Amino acid sequence: MLILASYLGSSYASDRPLSLSASLVFEQSYGGVDGDSASSAELYALLSALSEIPIKQSLAVTGSVNQHGQVQAIGGVNEKIEGFFEICQERGLTGDQGVLIPKANVKNLMLRQDVIDAVSDKMFNIYPIETIEQGIEVLTGIPAGEMDEEGSYPEDSINHRVIARLEEMAETQREFSNPPEEENEEEENSRKEDDSES
């Protein structure tokens, strides 16, 4: 969670406060998350929630992430791909299903022949990912967006939506922390009247 907080801070709060409290729940999971292979999935979930753009449910994700948004290698990549492939095969392959894996793990791939055949036939997909930006684009079909010279992102990008949502949350927090000036003046006048009456 500290890595995710560092990523969000460096990516979206270098020149503005980060007003965010988030919790993640893995539904129907009754054990702890083993290792950091889920950290990229956790970050994608946060970005999806902040941008209010849904993630494709036909894709599985594995990969560790560092505070710079680089997706790092994980263990058991073959078993993870084959496990999800079997689920998709049971439900029926559509060509939309697939797995996002760290690009660093490509050299470790030793997949079963049926998985290789399904990938060759474009009935199952394996996406080698280097950065969170690449991953969120695959998962949503929407560009992550690159920052321009003025520090802004294109309006139709994930990053623009995330920043807009964070600014909205920061403004809401400011409004609750600092009541409007009119109310402050009314309270002050009321206090003066009470003092003069006593």
> Which residues carry out catalysis?
37, 80
Sign of CA dihedral 95, 97, 101, 106: negative
Instruction: Give the separation between CA 75 and CA 62, rounded to whole angstroms.
Output: 10
Q: Residue 162 class from Cβ within 10 Å (0-12 exposed, 13-18 middle, 19+ buried)?
A: buried
Instruction: Please give the radius of gyration of the chain, using alpha carbons only, rounded to the nearest integer.
Output: 23
Instruction: Give the separation between CA 165 and CA 185, rounded to whole angstroms.
Output: 31
